[in-house]
Structure 1
């Protein structure tokens, strides 16, 4: 079976132009791609519907035009970008065996995938700052986090993602691909593509590590510090009801942070410090941060936020909502 697959890939490779790559999907599970595509498709559909639905609910309700929900809108939009840059191609690969991706298309997918990941990290940091101000500086909340300042934060998020990931496509473009054009992945991940080169990829690895430390490392430390101060402030609250209310909001955000960072961290480590050929387990787990966080983020916020629940109920059962 593996021999026939290898021959197919070789013949496919021979028919490709030098400006194309082949996405192999999940190594060793090629015969199950059609079945794997079914849950991936439904998760993609759920992700699209719940993200767009929650965005429309926030847009519709003026009561939700607050810093916390505006930042949530940014997160939902970036999650949609991340999903749409990888999952449609992944589904076509699994269902219709459309493995070929052009060199330019690969670089474009690489840019949007990694750029959206940096933007997600920046938004999570901004959301942690929002919770810190709300808990530790409640009287100054409305003056610190104005809509104008939120707009500036959004601009900084976009600029940071663009500037950090903009070198990635150029670092790959300079490489010489004189060996295999088969990418051991379901999408064009930076290091997975760079490993195909017959030239040195030391600069790619160094820049990737530097970018990760400047983004995930710095953001994680800042988020940890802000939550340490939030926890101290929560324990100082006199009212048990107030502690519960603040705690539930922060727990929601903490769940989203863990859901976003843990799969991304695993993907980063496995790609850079794993073997030359990725295993099926590595590919599956590294894809989790592309699928699970965008799908679960709006669900988590929808379940934990009473204001969002109220607006959903108002939309579908307006007679049951108490004004």
Structure 2
């Protein structure tokens, strides 16, 4: 039978073990971060949609990043706030499995989005005269569709197996959202495939993406060094700073979580919990801030938007 656990017993979310009495206080910074993520990424999407000067491949890829960050937040934060605010700990098995599906899928999508943004910078600096002919709207759409398909299809095999497992062990999840790594350990079944497949997937997606991005920036740096004018060199590098910052934040967070789960058996559980929250909150919070601070086109778009509302009122 393919789906024996659709009506299985629900799972219980924990939040911060040992700090249940302080959950209401802990909810305050979490709620502030939640609102900032929604406003920051929502603002980027609004600006890119309504400001025609931002209708370029670079900002279309930034749109993918902002959409992914919003999806990550909307996938995780409702259950987190439910636990912290009203102690709503119960989550259905289907809801838990879907959360365990979307979180890693969106990580692969975010990695792919950062890779496409690196490709954009690579073409813009290495081959600027052919930029418009290479990154056409059709190619941008194809890259975007490919990134999302890779993310949402690649993780399906292990998530489908979660539905077929029986769960005779504890149904308690040690945080306020469901991760595949933890759910599979609660199964009373052979989870060898669910242990090995993610390692292969991470190697072929996130780790490979990071290596390609690193190699692309080595080539970009080589090109920039060859530019005669120091002013032009600084200008070229400045267009990459925002992307490099987002790359570092994402890959440090995701790889830190991966290594903690794979090799941190002796690490205190609180470190696992903190890393998991950093993993899905810090990049979505910082990405719009970085692009708003470091990208003049975004800054000008914000100013135009504020002036428009000021004069219209």
Fold shared, TM-score > 0.5 on shorter chain: yes
CA offset at residue 318 of structure 1? 5.6
- Which residue is 1:175 aligned to? 165
- Which residue is 1:148 aligned to? 138
CA offset at residue 278 of structure 1? 6.4
CA distance in 2, matches of 1:39, 1:143: 46
> In the alignment, is the contact (CA less than 8 A) between 2:100 and 2:178 conserved in 1?
yes
> In the alignment, is the contact (CA less than 8 A) between 2:158 and 2:193 conserved in 1?
no
Kindly indicate whether residue 167 of structure 2 is the aligned counterpart of residue 162 of structure 1: no
Kindly indicate whether residue 213 of structure 2 is the aligned counterpart of residue 213 of structure 1: no
- Which residue is 1:85 aligned to? 75
Please give the secondary structure, in 2, of the residue aligned with 1:22: strand
> In the alignment, is the contact (CA less than 8 A) between 1:22 and 1:99 conserved in 2?
yes
How much is the aligned-residue C-alpha RMSD, in angstroms? 1.8
CA distance in 2, matches of 1:319, 1:175: 54
Counterpart of 1:232 (choices 222, 226, 229) is 222
Kindly indicate whether residue 48 of structure 2 is the aligned counterpart of residue 58 of structure 1: yes
- Which residue is 1:108 aligned to? 98
CA distance in 1, matches of 2:268, 2:193: 21
> In the alignment, is the contact (CA less than 8 A) between 1:20 and 1:101 conserved in 2?
yes
CA offset at residue 26 of structure 1? 2.2
- Which residue is 1:11 aligned to? none
Stretches of structure 2 lacking an aligned partner (at least 5 in a row)? 1-6
Note the alpha carbon deviations across 1:43-100, whole angstroms, 9 max, x for none. 0101001111111111111110000001000110111011000011101111111111
Please give the secondary structure, in 1, of the residue aligned with 2:188: coil
The answer to which of 269-278 and 174-183 deviates more is: 269-278
Stretches of structure 1 lacking an aligned partner (at least 5 in a row)? 1-16
Note the alpha carbon deviations across 1:104-127, whole angstroms, 9 max, x for none. 001111111111111000010110
Please give the secondary structure, in 1, of the residue aligned with 2:11: strand
- Which residue is 2:126 aligned to? 136
